[in-house]
């Protein structure tokens, strides 16, 4: 399956290259206290403010013009929906996006701003996904999964292609883990390019459904608690292709607290002047947990998105951390 996925990533790279940005990879002084060469991949600067544009373009461009003509439907906590709306508009298609009731209001505004139609259903991303899939079947629309689709996973894997161009090697890559599309695509490519690389999957303690599923040996249902990392929050669709990919490709797992996410968001802003969302900070928080282990090594953390509302971002800087 990995060989097939590598072929799909190569094809996705050719498909989407005119439509997406090659985002910067920068050295970060955040790694200095532990003697680590820490590199940050700035997907927060991608079109629509997250890596999701890659998967959206990959899937939409894999469809025929006839299939796109009638419109497409997606489910999303926000970033995937914005990416689908943006990509669809660029390709002359209409996009309908089903979101859960806990979706960030700034991300919903972005979906609408890119021309997408928003429908709210359920309190969890897994419920929104199931509803969107039913609509897709009933109305004969192409469904764009946030992660449970090889074209989408391959699109996210183009980050790995870029990293191979941008740096000679890395000893570890810290990647936020929700449904697993980002990790599966990037890890598949980089493990072929750099066989010794370690892939560290990072999730918030308050919503670590994929990690819990891997540990249980099958996809589990868990109620997610509120988290700053809304981009990784929620359940995993039954039968998701990413489950086996994550189980095979992730070498280690790190779960982080809400205070650790806040600290990482602050640190990234204070060090680089970058505004990142909780899901991006999860990867840096995961690195900080393990920093001493990577002394004298080269480590990459993927800042997967920068879409965070002003009120939420301000709250990160108000008050003190509780530990």
Asked whether residue 113 falls in the same domain as residue 240, the answer is no
pLDDT at 1: 55
Mean pLDDT of the chain: 94
pLDDT at 100: 87
In a domain, 86, yes or no: yes
In a domain, 323, yes or no: no
Model confidence over 94-139: pLDDT tens digits? 999 999 887 778 778 889 999 999 999 988 777 888 899 999 999 9
Residue ending a domain, choose from 144, 172, 195: 144
In a domain, 322, yes or no: no
> CATH number of the domain that 67 lies in?
3.40.50.1100
Asked whether residue 163 falls in the same domain as residue 264, the answer is yes
State pTM to two decimals.
0.94
Residue ending a domain, choose from 144, 176, 201: 144
Q: Tell me the C-alpha distance between 164 and 10, whole Å.
A: 13
Cβ atoms within 10 Å of 102's Cβ, excluding its own: 18
Asked whether residue 125 falls in the same domain as residue 160, the answer is no
Asked whether residue 67 falls in the same domain as residue 177, the answer is no
Asked whether residue 74 falls in the same domain as residue 198, the answer is no
Give residues with Cβ within 8 angstroms of 39, minimum separation 6.
25, 26, 27, 28, 167, 170, 298, 299, 300, 301
In a domain, 293, yes or no: yes
pLDDT at 288: 98
Asked whether residue 44 falls in the same domain as residue 160, the answer is yes
Asked whether residue 37 falls in the same domain as residue 61, the answer is no
Asked whether residue 114 falls in the same domain as residue 179, the answer is no
Asked whether residue 11 falls in the same domain as residue 92, the answer is no
Asked whether residue 304 falls in the same domain as residue 249, the answer is yes
Tens digit of each residue's pLDDT, the chain (323 residues): 577 999 999 999 999 999 999 999 999 999 999 999 999 999 999 999 999 999 999 999 999 999 999 999 999 878 999 999 999 999 999 999 999 887 778 778 889 999 999 999 988 777 888 899 999 999 999 999 999 999 999 999 999 999 999 999 999 999 999 999 999 999 999 999 999 999 999 999 999 999 999 999 999 998 889 999 988 988 888 899 999 999 999 999 999 999 999 999 999 999 999 999 999 999 999 999 999 999 999 999 999 999 998 888 999 988 555 54
Asked whether residue 172 falls in the same domain as residue 261, the answer is yes
Residue ending a domain, choose from 127, 144, 161: 144
Q: What domain range includes position 24?
A: 2-50+151-317
pLDDT at 323: 42
Asked whether residue 86 falls in the same domain as residue 220, the answer is no
Count of domains for the chain:
2
């Amino acid at each position: 399956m990995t060989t097939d996925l590598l072929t799909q990533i190569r094809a996705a790279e050719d498909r989407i290259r005119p439509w997406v940005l090659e985002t910067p990879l920068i050295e970060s002084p955040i790694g200095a206290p532990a003697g680590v060469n820490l590199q940050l991949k700035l997907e927060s600067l991608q079109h629509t403010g997250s890596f999701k544009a890659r998967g959206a373009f990959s899937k939409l461009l894999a469809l025929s013009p006839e299939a796109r003509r009638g419109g497409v439907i997606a489910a999303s906590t926000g970033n995937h929906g914005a990416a689908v709306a943006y990509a669809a508009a660029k390709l002359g298609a209409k996009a309908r996006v089903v979101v859960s009731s806990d979706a960030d209001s700034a991300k919903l505004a972005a979906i609408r701003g890119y021309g997408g139609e928003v429908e709210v259903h359920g309190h969890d991303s897994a419920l929104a996904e199931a509803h969107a899939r039913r609509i897709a079947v009933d109305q004969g629309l192409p469904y764009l999964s946030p992660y449970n689709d090889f074209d989408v996973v391959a699109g996210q894997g183009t980050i790995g292609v870029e990293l191979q161009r941008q740096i000679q090697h890395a000893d570890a890559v810290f990647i936020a883990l929700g449904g697993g599309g980002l990790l599966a695509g990037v890890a598949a490519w980089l493990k072929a390019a750099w066989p010794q690389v370690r892939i560290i999957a990072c999730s918030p303690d308050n919503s670590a459904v994929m990690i819990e599923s891997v540990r249980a040996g099958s996809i589990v249902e868990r109620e997610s608690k509120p988290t700053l990392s809304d981009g990784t929050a929620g359940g995993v669709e039954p039968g998701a292709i990413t489950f086996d990919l994550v189980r095979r490709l992730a070498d280690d797992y790190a779960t982080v607290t809400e205070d650790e996410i806040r600290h990482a968001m602050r640190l990234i802003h204070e060090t680089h002047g970058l505004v990142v969302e909780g899901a991006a900070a999860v990867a840096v928080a995961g690195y900080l947990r393990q920093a001493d282990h990577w002394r004298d090594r080269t480590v990459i953390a993927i800042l997967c998105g920068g879409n965070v509302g002003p009120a939420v971002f301000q709250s990160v800087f108000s008050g003190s951390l509780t530990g």
